[in-house]
Amino acid sequence: MAKKQVTFADIAEYTHFSKTTISRYFNHPDSLTLENQEKISQALEDLGYKKNKLAKVLANGKSEFIGIIVPNLYLHYYSEMLTQLLSSYRDYHYKFLVFVSDNGPDEEEQYIEELMSYQIEGLIVLSHTLSSEKLASYQIPVIAIEREAEHICSVTTDNYMGALQAASLLIRDHCDVLIHINADVPKIIPAYNRIRAFEDTCKEHHVPYELNLNVCGDSYQELFSQMKIIFADIDEKYPGQKKGVFLANDTYANMFLNLIFQKYGCLPDTYELVGFDNSPIASEAILPITTIGQQIDVIAHTSMELLVQQMEERKKRKPVPLAEPIHKQITPILIRRETTN
């Protein structure tokens, strides 16, 4: 016979506490003394209690769900970040509802309303569609990763330091001209500092440089078609010169490397490449790519730690809201591989 479901009444009878006290243990454990918490915890183990999570959601409105919104999954950075965030279930036991948002603010607002209907306890946003002011208006803990975050908490890479490392490496390797390939990133987005640091470093060292901010497209295929045009232009413009190419992410770097191999069958001495992210594609490329490692696992862990702290605070009887958003910055690491000397 199947075992009988252990109820609050069973736990109350076993511990000689009231059902109200047992309910407080599940919903507001900090309202009980540590001694009583330990007694109830031991009783749950003795009785073989299994949580009815649906009943818990209906009782206290806490779903243990976190929403995640990413702009796409064809850039390897986002897919790796999502993998790292999802793996945090082992540590925090929160579950995730994920939306990919790339069709404008109306769609993203619809997705967030859908997430709110599931009573999510927190939200992680990597897309750039809605302002942080709008995201803050939903009145739940929100963490931004690598995006504008004036009104919400955030975790970012030190993008300026990363780009400085990339440009400095190419300068040390005696490249004749440095080229940065990126989208036309708005200044309010943290990744803009990759453009700014690249340009600052080239000017400081009086090195010829070019900013190519023409990458655009809403799919991998569109990006690759655009990259073909960019590669052909660079290859024709600087014949015989040693070109140090710093690309905004490892997906772009892998595309550019493939185009070089398609034309030359190897990486000629006239090219050095540096990517950004250290997503798996960088180490698995046809030639492992030198990159600026964002420490994606650290960013994901830091984001979850910051979000969980806020969500757990809200469950207390007298929660103390943050006085102002917390912004954390993770130091990038230069990872030398075979696309640089």
Is the confidence at residue 266, as pLDDT, over 50? yes
The encoded tokens of residue 256 equal 């550019």
pTM for the whole structure? 0.81
What integer is the mean pLDDT of 302-314? 93
Is the confidence at residue 297, as pLDDT, over 60? yes
Structure confidence by residue, pLDDT tens digits, 175-192 = 999 999 999 999 999 999
Please state the separation of Cα 55 from the chain's center in Å. 32
The encoded tokens of residue 319 equal 């929660």
Task: Write the single-letter amino acid at 7.
Answer: T
Mean pLDDT of the chain: 91
pLDDT at 2: 44
pLDDT at 3: 53
pLDDT at 102: 78
3-state secondary structure of 158: coil
pLDDT at 1: 34
Give the β-pairing of 209-212 and 95-100: unpaired
The answer to whether 341 and 290 are in contact (CB under 8 A) is no
Q: Where are the alpha helices (DSSP H) in 205-334?
A: 220-237, 250-264, 280-284, 296-314
∠ CA 25-30-32 to the nearest 5 degrees?
60
Task: Write the single-letter amino acid at 175.
Answer: C
CATH code for residues 65-156+297-330: 3.40.50.2300
The encoded tokens of residue 315 equal 């469950």
Highest mean pLDDT among 10-19, 30-39, 202-211, 216-225: 202-211
**E-state strands within the chain:** 65-70, 95-100, 122-125, 142-145, 153-157, 177-181, 209-212, 243-247, 271-277, 290-293, 327-330, 333-335
CATH topology of domain 8-50: 434 Repressor (Amino-terminal Domain) (1.10.260)
pLDDT at 57: 52
> Within 13 Å, how many C-alpha atoms sit on residue 112's CB side?
23
What integer is the mean pLDDT of 113-121? 89
Ranges of CATH 3.40.50.2300 domains, the chain: 65-156+297-330, 159-295
Higher pLDDT, 337 or 63: 337
pLDDT at 60: 52
Ranges of CATH 1.10.260 domains, the chain: 8-50
Is the confidence at residue 269, as pLDDT, over 90? yes
Structure confidence by residue, pLDDT tens digits, 193-204 = 999 999 999 999
| Domain at 159-295, CATH homologous superfamily | Response regulator (3.40.50.2300)
